Amino acid sequence: MGVRLEEARYGKSRVRVLHVGRQGATHEVAETTVAVVCEGDFGESYTGDDNRRVLATDTMKNTIYALARREPPRPLETFGERLGREFLGECPWLARVGVELVGHRWTRLAQRTGGHPHAFVSPGGETRTASVTVARDGMVIRSGLDGLEVMKTTESGFAGFPRTRYTTLPETGDRILRTIVSANWTWRARPGDFDAAHAAVRAAFLEAFGAGYSPSVQHTLGRMAALALERVDELATVHLSLPNRHCLLVDLAPFGLDNPNQVFVATDEPHGLIEATFGRE
């Protein structure tokens, strides 16, 4: 039986890079996890024994480190672009290179007199993300964030939803809204400063999340996307995913205690999952 290769790609994943900028007494740190995926004319390595167009994934790893030595891996979008162009320049048989990047946040350790010059603290699970695909006929950049945990303890409810014979959820006009924001966005124009644009999108998400009454997670998601598109003109689309992390009121009656919306069980699963993509009209 004859077979035909339909599609193939390969690369290197989970390459962790910690870059320390040591210009002067005050240091800067950038920690990034990088994945590279290559597509192109290397089918003979799958259907035969020809490895002349198979760039070793170890070489990919070393290229990432070498580029980080020449230029700091920030902003993520620019580093991904440079990395993709590096591989296309070295390997003319490649058609496109996809680079996925996750930036791990570090903030300067506080001191009484200000920020510490070379001590840092990780603020939690939030990460900055970027996806850059560099091809010979163009480039696509997608930016984003993940793990941004937010919560509001009032001014959130859920009512007016359809009820079936299996519905037990009561309607409420006052509940805790807690979620972990995962988002990505595309650009209709390249921003002058990716770092500033990312900060502006993040700030718009937080402002919209906290502002006003939330009749549903869906409504809050739409408000977050709309404000980001309004504030950052270079954005083309915004995709948001908001898992509804339920906080359940604990029944303290068996212990002779009331519970006026003060003591809750914070649950991870199961959770509702609300997501949508918004663009411009």
**At the topology level of CATH, where does 147-279 sit?**
Urate Oxidase (3.10.270)
Nearest by Cα to 218 from 128, 155, 149, 157: 157
Domain chopping of the chain, boundaries: 10-136, 147-279
Give 51-66 pLDDT, tens digit per residue: 999 999 999 999 999 9
Let me know if domain 10-136 sits in CATH 1.10.150.300. no
Range among 1-5, 17-21, 141-145, 148-152 with highest mean pLDDT value:
141-145
Residues with a catalytic annotation lie at 12, 57, 246
pLDDT for position 92: 95
pTM value? 0.87
What's the pLDDT score for residue 125? 86
In the structure encoding, which two tokens stand for residue 269, read together? 């699963």
Q: How far is CA 244 from CA 35, 161, 178, 279, in A?
A: 29, 16, 6, 23
What pLDDT was estimated at residue 95? 95
> 3-class SS at 41?
coil
22 vs 202, which has greater pLDDT?
202
Distance CA 189, CA 200 (A): 15
Q: Do domains 10-136 and 147-279 have the same CATH topology?
A: yes
| pLDDT cut 90: percent of the chain above it | 65
Contacts of 214 (CB under 8 A, 6+ apart): 152, 155, 156, 157, 177, 220
Note the pLDDT of residue 93.
94
Q: Could you report the per-residue pLDDT of 71-127, keeping only the tens digit for each?
A: 888 899 999 999 999 999 999 999 999 999 999 988 888 777 678 887 888 778 899
